């Protein structure tokens, strides 16, 4: 029995393959889309459902609640479009 040696190993890590780069880009875009979905649900829809079904008196005016929900939904869409653009750019390489 012989012990393994470091022969053939280099100190510099090999470059990622094209398929690995594509998968990393897909995972990144999926994570960012998950953040966008979370923002849409928690910031955009949950306050509206809470106001309609559970609260007798709102701590803020209706128009403020709708404005906050609208802004959260628009930011969510912007994050989704940014992730989509990132993925398209990475997959073109």
User: Model-level pTM?
Assistant: 0.75
Cα-based distances in Å from 61 to 48, 58, 92: 12, 7, 47
Q: What is the mean pLDDT of residues 74-86?
A: 96
**69 touches 47 (CB < 8 A):** yes
Retrieve residue 35's tokens.
């953040």
Cα-based distances in Å from 27 to 20, 30, 37, 81: 11, 5, 15, 16
> Given the structure tokens 């079904």, which residue do they identify?
53
- pLDDT by residue (tens digit) across 22-79? 999 999 999 999 999 999 999 999 999 988 888 778 888 899 999 999 999 999 999 9
**65 touches 47 (CB < 8 A):** yes
Q: What is the mean pLDDT of residues 78-86?
A: 96
């Amino acid at each position: 029995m012989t012990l393994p040696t470091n022969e053939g190993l280099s100190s510099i890590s090999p470059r990622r393959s094209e398929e690995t780069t594509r998968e990393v880009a897909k995972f990144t875009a999926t994570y960012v889309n998950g953040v966008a979905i979370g923002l849409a649900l928690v910031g955009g829809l949950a306050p509206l459902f809470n106001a309609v079904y559970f609260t007798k008196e709102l701590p803020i005016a209706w128009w403020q609640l709708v404005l906050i929900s609208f802004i959260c939904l628009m930011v969510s869409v912007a994050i989704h479009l940014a992730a989509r653009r990132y993925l398209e750019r990475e997959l073109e390489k």
